[in-house]
Amino acid sequence: MRVIAKKTLKEFYENKNYIDSKSSLESWHYEALKADWKNPNDIKEQYRSASIVGSNKIVFNICGNKYRLIVKINYHVQIVFVKFIGTHKEYDKINIEEL
């Protein structure tokens, strides 16, 4: 998979308030790059705690469920778009359908 944009992840974990997320986000990014996800079921096999939202958005629990990562995936062209990374409190304030 191709991940767009790692910059979003890096900006998040470089914030001193979220530095504890660095290793988890780097691990997720590495695994996503190596993945060959064809559909949401492939992701659920690898990440049991991931939540499928609609047909192409996935919510990942990061850093022991302290943070939430939302991505949108185009399975046909193998691209993962990072749409959101934040705390549960921040996640609760967004409308995932509008991302």
Mean pLDDT (the chain) is 94
Report pLDDT for 64: 87
Instruction: Please state, for a pLDDT cut of 70, what percent of the chain lies above it.
Output: 99
Q: Which residue has the tokens 């914030």?
A: 15
Is residue 49 classed exposed, middle or buried when 0-12, 13-18 and 19+ CB atoms within 10 A define those classes? exposed
Task: Single out the residue of 62, 61, 68 nearest to residue 91, CA to CA.
Answer: 68
Asked whether the predicted pLDDT for residue 98 surpasses 90, the reply is no
Model confidence over 44-77: pLDDT tens digits? 999 999 999 977 899 999 998 899 999 999 999 9
Asked whether the predicted pLDDT for residue 99 surpasses 90, the reply is no
Task: Single out the residue of 13, 20, 80 nearest to residue 50, CA to CA.
Answer: 80
**CATH 3.30.2310 holds for 2-98:** yes
Asked whether the predicted pLDDT for residue 22 surpasses 80, the reply is yes
Q: Which pair of tokens denotes residue 57? A: 């958005």
Give CA–CA dist 21/36, Å, rounded. 24
Domain edges within the chain: 2-98
pTM reported for the whole predicted model: 0.93
